[in-house]
Structure 1
Amino acid sequence: MEADAIIIGAGACGLMCAVQAGYLGKKVIILEKGSKAGAKILISGGGRCNYTNRFATDEQFISGNKHFSKSAFTQWTVADTISFFETYGINGKEKTLGQLFPEDKNAKDIVDVFTTLCSDFGQEIKCNADVTDIIQNDGSYSVSYQQSGKTYTLNTPKLVIATGGLPIPKMGATDFALRFARKNGLKIIDTAPALVPLTITGKEEDWYAQLSGNSVFCEVSNDKISFEENILFTHWGLSGPAVLQISSYWQPGEIININLLPHEDITALLEEERKYNGKTLLSTLLNRYYAKKFTDALHKYLPVDKQVASLTKTELELIHQTIHLFKVKPAGDKGYDKAEVMRGGIDTNELSSKTLECKKMPGLYFGGECVDVTGWLGGYNFQWAWACGFVIAQGI
């Protein structure tokens, strides 16, 4: 046996698992298909890495079993994540909504923490190592991989698969974990891009395209959930934090509701304006809340050039519906190239919630994005990855 465990994937989960195993005196070898460890960490948050969220609980995660993540988050808390990084010189600075970024460092410093600790503990990270076969023997696993044109085989009693999900294939994302799970009879929850921009096609396409680059603070909702953050108009549809959030709960064919003025009542504002200055144009009132370009674009739906005093009851109702219940029916999403994470994955019923060990294959563990646990935007998915890495390290 070359190591106490082999970890496939040097992402957030795999790196944390290796470090935590090192604390426990266990020897691991990480096999990473890409050319460097932590590739997806390095590009996260525009290179700044939103590494956790102060408010993270199991409530901000989508899963076929909403209770599955509770055990991992009890074993490794947000406070543990903050303390871990502070120990190695990375102090968190809150941006918005509990999102923590390194105060005076960046994503590279996050990765350096792990690679330095792996070196200190004697944990090997083998990059450009493409796993080609896994064979389960009695009480152990044989893992074959190719590196520099040669094939090698390692034997280990414990195997960790932390190869992530399908988003950003140009960064080396693959369906390795899903293929291996299917091959071994494990159930997979249907996968789809999540935290992903949504596209608009057809007769509405030009209206969205003309607003490209404009951002509006909104409440975006469907019949499952709502989010209050900015939306961003693009040449192909909608993006921005609120849209990325709702995309994880959106299914093709569904309509999304957008409240374009969530903290005001447009009807009350109009009534107030009519009392004191009925000659005010609707566009003038709207310009107090929106960029002029957005107000001008609303001309397609609203009588923006009319004085508020002359608005009819029907027009007042139309304004209320348009501002507070703007309906959008996306044509689709931008796919895995633009998605931040994958929803779905290995069915949590196949794993122990306490250890993340596969019930049907003792000694095999799955962690991170390949499991059917998908977090909100804003550091939640990193918190899941760190927790998985810690939990798995206790068992290998």
Structure 2
Amino acid sequence: MTANLKKQTDFDAIIIGAGACGLMCAVQAGFLGKRVLILEKNDRPGAKILISGGGRCNYTNLYASAQQFISQNPHFCKSAFAQWTVDDTIGFFEAYGISGKEKTLGQLFPVTDKARDIVNVFANLCADLEQQIWYNTTVKAVEQANDAFEITYERHDREQKILAPKVVMASGGLPVVKLGATDIGMRIARKFGMAVVDTAPALVPLTITGKDQPWYEKLSGNSIFCRVWNERISFEENILFTHWGLSGPAILQISSYWKPGEFIYIDLLPQQNITELIQQERVVNGKKTLLALLSGLYTRKFADALADRLPVQKNLASLSKADIDLIENLIHQFKVKPAGDKGYDKAEVMRGGVSTDELSSKTLEAQKVPGLYFGGECVDVTGWLGGYNFQWAWASGFVIAQAL
């Protein structure tokens, strides 16, 4: 391989990554008359956008605010969200032919249900604004070079260098490796002496091993509306039993607040009280078995599975106080100690990243390195499931573009 130094003065900035943040930054910079170059590892833009929401792309959430984000500084994202609001996101996409439809809990999808439509907006705008994207380009290093930055990259099997006055790290996080995910954003930050908050998979399924694993395995495919909680937070959505543990929206949500070794708790009947149901049914039909009652509340498969843990063959009239206490605890405080999670390849996003202490909340410029910006998933700002992380990506891309 040969290394050539290529001076390029035409670009106001180089953006590393053609994901949600990088694409929005390029477009918004173009609106302001600034020319940028995006360096993208994949052979197309928006790889993660395309697979999000099962290929439908939940591109924002009507209720997005700083409250739905995890960060060592929970106030950090407020400035970006004040500069680029949910209404701005909706208006931006509507201006380019994409109307949104709300599914549940404020989640907004394109009416076409096609993530490709979201990516096409940016691809078309980048072409119209003459913003360049170099695909199949792997960034190796970013160094300061006098009043500019020298980016070392590999393209067409050749290692080359390019100079730019400003650099935007919109390189994403560690999920999903097969889509080209790397730790380049964190590596560049550390190289410049910036702190990085420990990273971990977030919005990720949880695994169960040992003696309990076969019980979960036989329930694989069963989905139940639950309340899932720990000492920090709770969520009410569906959980999904799988052959390796637990998934579904409520589990993905709680996973961002779970640490190895901790328990999580599940209320399997969050909108009713099982003890009250038993007492009411006793009056009507005391001979009814607990199994029959549970079969009316859950799938028969799930009710049968509870036979391993509850006296399901007893009729309601013969249930003792100890039996009812057991039932109450299991149904409303089902205790789970996950063995781990499914890792970055099954995670929606990454928790942690470049410390917000290192960045200006207004511009996302590195405090120690003027001209270097960090946005999107590589920053320690992690949203809930349901379009929140896209809203952060759009907002961070927008605010960086204003400062270039």
Tell me if TM exceeds 0.5: yes
Aligned partners of 2:77, 2:165: CA distance in 1, in Å? 25
Moved more, 133-142 or 231-240: 133-142
Q: CA deviation at 1:153?
A: 2.4
After TM superposition, where is structure 1 displaced by more than 4 Å over at least 4 residues in a row?
A: none
Question: Partner residue of 2:210?
Answer: 202
Q: CA deviation at 1:105?
A: 4.6
- 3-state secondary structure, aligned to 1:320: helix
- 3-state secondary structure, aligned to 1:288: helix
Aligned partners of 2:90, 2:72: CA distance in 1, in Å? 28
Moved more, 212-221 or 131-140: 131-140
Aligned partners of 2:119, 2:294: CA distance in 1, in Å? 46
Q: When the two structures are aligned, how many residues end up with a matched partner? A: 396
Question: Partner residue of 2:3?
Answer: none
Question: Partner residue of 1:350?
Answer: 358
User: Residues 137 and 97 of structure 1: is their aligned pair in 2 closer, same or farther, counting only changes over 3 Å?
Assistant: same
Aligned partners of 1:170, 1:375: CA distance in 2, in Å? 22
Aligned partners of 1:170, 1:386: CA distance in 2, in Å? 23
Question: Partner residue of 2:276?
Answer: 268
| Paired residues of 1:2 and 1:155 also in contact (CA < 8 A) | no
Deviation digits for residues 309-356 of structure 1 (CA, Å, limit 9, x no counterpart): 000010010000000000000000000010000000000000000000
- 3-state secondary structure, aligned to 2:73: coil
Question: Partner residue of 1:148?
Answer: 156
Identity among equivalent positions (%) equals: 66
- 3-state secondary structure, aligned to 2:297: coil
User: 1:385 aligned to 2:393?
Assistant: yes
- 3-state secondary structure, aligned to 2:221: coil
Aligned partners of 1:180, 1:364: CA distance in 2, in Å? 10
- Report the residue type matching 1:372 in the other structure: D
Q: CA deviation at 1:168?
A: 1.1
Of the candidates 107, 116, 120, which is equivalent to residue 112 of structure 1?
120
Q: CA deviation at 1:138?
A: 2.5
Q: CA deviation at 1:90?
A: 0.5
**TM-score, length-normalised on structure 2?**
0.97
Of the candidates 51, 64, 77, which is equivalent to residue 56 of structure 1?
64
| Paired residues of 2:14 and 2:39 also in contact (CA < 8 A) | yes
- Report the residue type matching 2:39 in the other structure: L
Q: CA deviation at 1:135?
A: 1.8
| Paired residues of 2:218 and 2:243 also in contact (CA < 8 A) | yes
Of the candidates 264, 271, 293, which is equivalent to residue 285 of structure 1?
293
Aligned partners of 1:44, 1:130: CA distance in 2, in Å? 23
Of the candidates 236, 242, 253, which is equivalent to residue 244 of structure 2?
236
Aligned partners of 2:159, 2:317: CA distance in 1, in Å? 79
Once the two structures are superposed, the pairs formed by residues 333-344 of structure 1 within 5 Å of their partners are 333-344=341-352
Indicate the RMSD between aligned Cα atoms, in angstroms.
Answer: 0.7
- 3-state secondary structure, aligned to 2:162: strand
- 3-state secondary structure, aligned to 2:175: coil
| Paired residues of 2:19 and 2:46 also in contact (CA < 8 A) | yes
Question: Partner residue of 2:403?
Answer: 395
Question: Partner residue of 2:172?
Answer: 164
For structure 2, the 5+ residue unaligned runs are: 1-8
Deviation digits for residues 23-50 of structure 1 (CA, Å, limit 9, x no counterpart): 0000000000111110000111111100
User: 1:297 aligned to 2:282?
Assistant: no
Once the two structures are superposed, the pairs formed by residues 8-87 of structure 1 within 5 Å of their partners are 8-87=16-95
